[in-house]
Amino acid sequence: MTLKIVKYGDPVLQKEGEEITNIDGELAKFVDEMFGTMYTAKGVGLAAPQVALSKKLFVMDVSSGKDKQDKLVVINPQIVETKGKIVSEEGCLSFPGIYFEVERPEIVTVQAIDINGKEYTFEASGLAARCVLHEKEHIDGHVFIEHLSPLKRDLIKRKINKKIKLGEWE
């Protein structure tokens, strides 16, 4: 089953997700559906609020299903350390067709819980680091256009309003 990905404008995207306290079979099933939804949408990361679940959980796979090691379930994450800075183009499944450059740390160390309830720590760099930081923002109730200047953010919002009018934002 594929879940519906909510678009910018839905209040769930601007609400801080709750910590996950219970990891069970039901959550594991939901996580499987999140992966399926993400692969179908050709994304490399998907946060629970993007599928209308306001919780601190995201999935990611920068290899798009090619490398099992890249397939991560990230629950209640904490960013332990960041290093460097890099500017790169970024998109978001909740902002279809919208891409712009965002400056982010180049390397990130994350502590999280996996789908078996086990705590783990991992270091990510390049696209994986960008993905972790982008998804972490989602579960904290933030979206990537907040990185833009007010002027550029306005331009994007106008572009979105145009898409809404054309019925291209559903």
> Which residues lie near Co ion (CB under 5 A)?
92
Beta strand pairing call for 72-83 and 86-90? unpaired
Nearer to Co ion, 23 or 62 (CB): 62
Closest CA to 135 of 96, 91, 101: 91
CB of 77 to Co ion, least distance (A): 15
* Nearer residue to Co ion within complex by CB, 38 or 113: 38
Minimum Å distance from CB 117 to Co ion? 26
- Minimum CB separation of residue 128 from Co ion in Å reads 15
HSE of 140, CA atoms in CB hemisphere, 13 A: 13
State how far the alpha carbon of 132 is from the alpha carbons of 122, 144, 149, 154, in Å: 11, 12, 22, 26
Decide whether 75 or 130 has the Cβ nearer to Co ion: 130
- CB-neighbour burial class of residue 98 (10 A; exposed 0-12, middle 13-18, buried 19+): middle
Nearer to Co ion, 71 or 147 (CB): 147
Annotation marks residue 135 as catalytic: yes
Which residues are bridge partners to 110 per DSSP?
79, 122
Least separation in angstroms between residue 85's CB and Co ion is 20
Which of 89, 135, 137, 146 is labelled catalytic?
135
Active site residue ranges: 135
